[in-house]
Amino acid sequence: MRAQLISETALTGQLLVQVLSAFDDKQLNTVPFEGSWTAAQVAEHIWKAGDCGVVYGPSAPTQRAADEKVNAIKALFQDYNAKFNAAEMIAPGNAPHTQTQVMEHIHQVWDKLTTAANNVDLNEECLAFEVPGFGPFTRLEWIKFINIHTRRHIRQLENIQAHVLKEQRA
């Protein structure tokens, strides 16, 4: 279980860095189409949502399978027709970001997540925060949640990149 989680976390981090590395400063801060976040805003949302504060926060033993809610998390975030509004605490601001700033934040967050995947007791429930409708997550479920959520946004970043490049060519 842990080895698979570590591998999944590493791959998600690599994919995220790869897609973000393809943007220059101007592209990062370009609104690709009306109603969309910029790539920099998506990155900010990812680093806020993936902060790991909940994973390292108060926890308690659980009486259920540590991965019980993973399929429900996948079903929610892998439905690409569903649209969500970010909670205020993880919503991005409007300030522009440089490529350097984005990469520094992403690397910091992903280092914390990788450390958690390697070291925390994955079977304990996190008590500091609950995703509405799900109840408390175990540490395993939180790390999986962050990975699955990030994969959804990697897809969004690829879409933004395609629109930005198309506009530059026009």
The DSSP-derived string for 16-53 is HHHHHHT--HHHHT---STTPPPHHHHHHHHHHHT--T
Q: Where in the chain are the domains? A: 2-169
Which of 44, 69, 72 is CA-nearest to residue 153? 44
Q: Is domain 2-169 classified as CATH 1.20.120.450?
A: yes
Would the pTM of this model clear 0.85, i.e. be above it?
A: yes
Q: What is the mean pLDDT of residues 86-111?
A: 96
- State how far the Cα of 16 lies from the Cα of 153, in Å rounded to an integer: 9
Query: Nearest-CA neighbor of 168 among 15, 9, 1, 24?
Result: 24
Q: What percent of the chain has pLDDT over 70?
A: 99
Rounded average pLDDT over 146-159: 97
